[in-house]
Amino acid sequence: QKNGVSNGTLYKKTFVEHFEQAPMYVAVLTFVGFGVGTIFGYLRDFMRAWGLEKRNIAAEREEQKDFVPLYQDFENFYTRNLYMRIRDNWNRPICSVPGPQFDLMERVTDDYNWTFRFTGRTIKNVINMGSYNYLGFAETDVNALKTVTIELQKYGAGVCSTRQEMGTLDKHVELEKLVAKFLGVEDAMVFGMGFATNSMNIPALVGKGCLILSDELNHTSLVLGARLSGATIRIFKHNNMQSLEKLLRDAIIYGQPRSRRAWRKIIILVEGIYSMEGSIVRLPELVSLKKKYKAYLYLDEAHSIGAVGATGRGVVEYFGMSPDDVDVLMGTFTKSFGAAGGYIAGKKDLVDFLRTHSHSAVYATSMCPPVAEQIIRAMKCLMGLDGTTQGLQRVRQLGKNTRYFRRRLHEMGFIIYGNDDSPVVPLLLYMPGKIGAFARRMLEKNIGVVVVGFPATPITESRARFCVSAAHTREMLDTVLNALDELGDFLHLKYSRYSKSSHPELYEETRLELED
């Protein structure tokens, strides 16, 4: 159902998100598909236990057979029987830069996906719809990487120390100043790994006696950080501000569960763009709620920094708000900047506190210098500091590509989730059999896609996820769209009941006939 504008005054442009439900027969067939898979799974297990079928999976050592088994049989049931059938669609190794096109290593299996063998050949120029390369900075152009090579020769590859001991280089200081300037905040701190940024800093910011309100579909790193902190966690429905408001009111009225004392801190964890849904957080409503109930806001912009907003500064700019409204701005450099690592930005007191108390600053190595240089050059390009307008062009190209891609997919009749402006496009497949078929046939057409199923998504909603990039040209997108069209008809994937008219050319044809 489309979500139109409800608080007309808060949103400066229309906020349109789609989460269409598929017809009922699709859900039924999906369950049937899983049921058949499960029955065959039990049959296979039975045959394996009785020796009628070979055991292909690795086994425990002879000397350790009487130890407590390491894996329970049931935990692995799904892996053994359902995942193993379509395993060839994941972990495909590539042998070039993950740009808009890449080269895949050809991989065949002789025994139905239990083991793989590389033939030694590569499949060249596969269109890449799976890598997080939103602004196209994953490139090997020698000119662009000149400064990175210089830094590599000056500093070497590793740092071999933590931030607090010997690991703070002048490159880190330069990078942090640049990040703070880019986002428009007072100060920033960078870390070596995006996942670790969340899981090591949330415990430093909140502890026992605090309340964490986290979105249903938050990323594992946020969930892990929240659990490690020891605070109480309550979950609100995805992007649903009424559910969040109810939780906030309950928290303030009832306080901590047994002692009824007020919570020490209430912090709301949300993401800018959710990577499995493609939805954008409702920031204006969230900020007004936060101000009303005096809670703190932690915004994880892993996918949205660089990808949305008029100049690529993330959801804060997309909604036209000021970065001071968000207490903790967190993001990663993996997606839009073609590097690795994460950052946390905000007021100076916050960042100074993190410099002394973050687990990562004390125990984990700092970011390596060539990677820091890559981020610096990408950010300078985005801000226009290198003298060209290339950065702005990339952001605009990404916006154009996103809107074109989504519009065409809607017209064709696929069910797409998410906001019209998000470069993450999940296309719903639903049935388990189609997951494997879709990915394999797309590869035959030289297009690499990412498919996701249970347990990363709910069991009935398996999907294929496309990541549009600024480096994709119109021709590449058209190739992909035509392939999707064909495949959609072949596999009956066009479930949408709201498709717009997709053949305006028909009208031209009839007009020509009439003129005749």
Q: Footprint of another protein on this chain (CB under 8 A)?
A: 58-61, 63-64, 66-72, 79, 83, 90-95, 98, 102, 105, 128, 130-132, 152, 156-162, 164-166, 192-196, 199-200, 219-221, 224, 227-228, 332, 334, 339-340, 357, 359-360, 362-365, 368, 370-371, 448, 450
Amino acid at 448: G
Q: Are 308 and 280 in contact, with CB atoms under 8 Å apart?
A: yes
Nearer to another protein, 192 or 426 (CB): 192
User: How many other C-beta atoms can be found within 10 angstroms of the C-beta atom of residue 409?
Assistant: 23
Minimum distance from CB of 148 to another protein (Å)? Answer: 8
Nearer to another protein, 38 or 334 (CB): 334
Q: Which residues contact 434 (CB under 8 A, 6 or more apart)?
A: 462, 491, 493
Minimum distance from CB of 83 to another protein (Å)? Answer: 8
Nearer to another protein, 200 or 247 (CB): 200
Counting Cα atoms < 13 Å in the Cβ hemisphere of 218 gives: 29
Nearer to another protein, 64 or 322 (CB): 64
Nearer to another protein, 60 or 174 (CB): 60
The structure tokens 């005749």 sit at 516
The structure tokens 């972990």 sit at 91
List residues bridging with 212 in a β-sheet. Answer: 233, 267
| Tokens standing for residue 121 | 């050949």
| Tokens standing for residue 183 | 């986002």
List residues bridging with 213 in a β-sheet. Answer: 234, 268
Nearer to another protein, 99 or 284 (CB): 99
Omega before 426 within 30 of 0, i.e. cis? no
Nearer to another protein, 284 or 369 (CB): 369
The structure tokens 């998410």 sit at 418
| Tokens standing for residue 80 | 């053994």
Give the strands of the sheet with 447-448, arranged side by side.
101-108, 117-128, 447-448
Minimum distance from CB of 49 to another protein (Å)? Answer: 18
